[in-house]
Chains A and B, each alone.
Chain A
Amino acid sequence: MSLTEGSGPSSSPGSVALGEVLTFFGMVADYAAGCAPEEGERVSSLAVAMAKIADLSQEDRDALYFAARLRNIGALGNAAFAKGEALSDREIVMLGWDVPADGARLCESIGALPEGTADMVRWQAECWDGTGYPDQLRWAGIPATAQLLNIAQAYVRTTDPEESLSAITLESGCSFAPEQVRTFIMWFHTYGGEIESVAPPYAALESERTTPVEIIERLSELVDAHNATPQRAARVARRAEEIGKHLRFDAETLRQVRLASLLFGIGELRALQAESMQFDPLARLGIDTRAENAVTAARLIAQCPQLADLAPVVRARAEWYDGTGRPDGLRHDAIPQAAHALAVSLSFDAVDEAYRSRITEERALPLVRLETAAGTQFDPAVVRALADVVKARA
């Protein structure tokens, strides 16, 4: 796809970095909500194209772009999508109605986003006749931008453009405002239903108000809430960083250790269960889903230019030191240093958690269990570093 629209004023490196991480945030949320990988880009491009036809201001179009990208972030941690107790179909539907408002709250907490983004996310599922959610707004009470976002989502979700055109036209006056349906029809006939990618308006972000790392930390909290493993990523990151410092990793590797530890959980978002027992001999036989989750997380991370260097680290976190792990059977130094630290910290967390919560009858200290796997599953030097770190803390 070619880029069809300039992003106005040139973007600073800071706003590009932030914009790419925000786009990644939206992509992870789309994944959690069960959307296709390219859906975010298609929805945002279509929404902005329609907004241009409707002659909306550049500010509105910029906000609409980010609202489309972040439209599903309310799904992260929402009980309808998250792991937890089994819910009835009706409960799932009702909890799903909260996704737009939860997403709006998150957007409001990101100071860098253009004004109006949060409200577009909040009202993206409102219907013109008042039958939408969360607020059951109707008619002119729904901003035109939110309506365009709703139409763009409806269009992108259907595979056949003609069928989609027909479905959206039939909803004129019900789900969608007649004016916005006319805009959509005009877009459809102008572009033949083909969505052309637009350049991200990163220059519209106030990058001094939010940092990319803050976004990643927020994302990791939400991912942990979603996976029913509260605060896990923060614990794992803290311990992995300590291991890295103990082993005198350079600054770049320490950065990789920290960010990879915060992000590895995104691979589990759609898994049925979180990896509560990371340290398990069955993993060697490929019976668990650990490597699969690592591959998924790495695939998602690789799509963000700012974070792409973390993908090999996250992918290798299920490898074994002796080369019998998965997914690639890497061994010794072929496994990134940061991945060694992440694997040991994560496994310690799982065993420690199980020990503390008395899930297991195992009476030995968690550290002893990891030491038995040094040289096979784990790099012995990293396990020794963990032992030093844990003992120093005790």
Chain B
Amino acid sequence: MIELHERTRRISASRLEEILRGYGCTSVVDPFMGLPTHLNYFKRHGFAVHGGDLVEWFVRAGEGLVVNDFTVLRDNEVAEIVEMLPGRIYALDLFKAWEGVFFTEEQCIYLGVWHDNVRNLRSDGQTGLAIFGLWNVLCYWLQKAQYPDDMRDLPPSELAWNYIRKTERWVTSNLRRNTVRQADVLTTISAQTADALFLAPPARNSFRSADARIWMWEAWWQGNPYYNIEHSYRDSLFGQRSADEQGYARAIAGVLSNARDYPVVILQTSEQRLHEFEPHMRNARPHVEILAPHSHEVYLIGTK
């Protein structure tokens, strides 16, 4: 059975919103975006948001939840995603490598079908919504392997339908320009201007132990079950170049130095890792405030 991380990164968008409003910010950039749900929250509350990530499916999901203002999926369009369409030829063995290891034969077939169907959608917004919705199905299956007796057996198409429908209710407009990009942290920081920069930096070498629910979905999107997510981080600032402690410290200092034009920088970390970031923030910013609602949710806020 695949091992799933017990603790995943918690980003409380509602708490961050309070912090951002406290500093009078109305726009925010997140170059380590990950799942774009927090940016969707900010967008819903009127902030202009800009995200960046190296993993393509995060960016695609961002196109559905962050960039997309109006597009949703009609019932017939969801049906065209979740089921095998007559007359279309599918590569049913695309994810056969996962069969019996992570998923059942039926699940692997559906993964292949959905991969093809999603790639044939008409707009980036719809594609993003479908990717995010179907990712929830993948998570459901993986969690069910952990709790076989607690979770229901549901037909794949029903699960997919439910989760896509639940995803698209988050679509909203804030009458502002919101963007996502597939780019390294420094590119995103320099390509955008905003009132605040939000950073939730990955731990040192965390790309080597990426959560299965993340790397598997990138592999699904790429259509390659053998895909290695380390490729996404190759030659990036927080990839191989920050494998050692000094390299990691240099990378953090570099990010904060490049963020000098942002009036406010908010770095989220934990009490345990605070010492890795605090000296760099104090070097980069004259005023630093620390908010610590929990030991695993600490905000280091640097202002000019």
Contact = CB atoms under 8 A, between A and B. Distances in A.
A135 interface: yes
B187 to A, nearest CB: 27
Interface stretch (B10-18, B23-31, B102-110): B10-18
A182 B147 CA distance: 11
A156 B184 CA distance: 48
Contact of B147 (A137, A140, A173): A173
A135 B11 contact: yes
Nearest to A104: B14
Contacts of A136: 13, 35, 37-38, 40-41
A140 B15 CA distance: 18
B193 to A, nearest CB: 26
Given A94-B172, A119-B293, A138-B8, A172 B44 contact: no
A131 B170 CA distance: 10
Given A172-B151, A178-B151, A182-B150, A137 B12 contact: yes
B8 A141 contact: yes
B143 interface: yes
A141 B34 CA distance: 15
Interface string B36-52: 01101100100000000
Interface in A167-193: 170, 172-174, 178, 181-182
A135 B136 contact: no
Contacts of A174: 140, 151
Interface residues of A, number: 26
Contacts of A94: 44, 172
Given A130-B37, A131-B136, A173 B143 contact: yes
B139 interface: yes
B140 A129 contact: yes
A104 B167 CA distance: 25
Interface residues of B, number: 34
B37 A170 contact: no
A181 B40 CA distance: 29
A135 B13 CA distance: 5
A129 B213 CA distance: 12
A130 B163 CA distance: 10
A54 to B, nearest CB: 15
Nearest to B162: A174
Contacts of A172: 147, 150-152
B37 A140 contact: no
Contacts of B11: 135
A105 B6 CA distance: 28
Contact of B150 (A93, A131, A181): A181
Contacts of A104: 14
B192 to A, nearest CB: 23
A186 to B, nearest CB: 13
Given A135-B41, A172-B151, A173-B144, A129 B136 contact: yes
A141 B10 CA distance: 6
A117 B226 CA distance: 45
A138 B40 CA distance: 16
B150 A101 contact: no
Nearest to A139: B8
Interface centre among B12, B140, B143, B167 (most CB of A within 10 A): B12
Contacts of B44: 94
A77 interface: no
Given A119-B293, A173-B143, A173-B144, A131 B166 contact: yes
Interface in A292-317: none
Contacts of B169: 93
Interface string A219-252: 0000000000000000000000000000000000
Interface string B120-163: 00000000000000001001100110010011100000000001
Q: Top 7 nearest A-B pairs by Cβ distance? A: A173-B151, A178-B150, A101-B14, A141-B10, A136-B37, A178-B147, A134-B14
29 contacts: A94-B44, A94-B172, A101-B17, A104-B14, A105-B18, A119-B294, A122-B12, A122-B14, A129-B136, A129-B139, A130-B136, A131-B136, A131-B163, A134-B13, A134-B14, A134-B41, A135-B13, A135-B14, A135-B38, A136-B13, A136-B37, A137-B10, A138-B139, A140-B6, A170-B152, A173-B144, A173-B147, A173-B151, A174-B151
Given A101-B14, A136-B37, A173-B140, 18 more contacts: A101-B17, A122-B12, A130-B139, A131-B163, A131-B167, A134-B13, A134-B14, A135-B12, A135-B14, A135-B38, A136-B35, A138-B8, A138-B139, A140-B6, A141-B10, A173-B150, A174-B151, A178-B150
Interface of A: 93-94, 100-101, 104-105, 119, 122, 129-131, 134-141, 170, 172-174, 178, 181-182
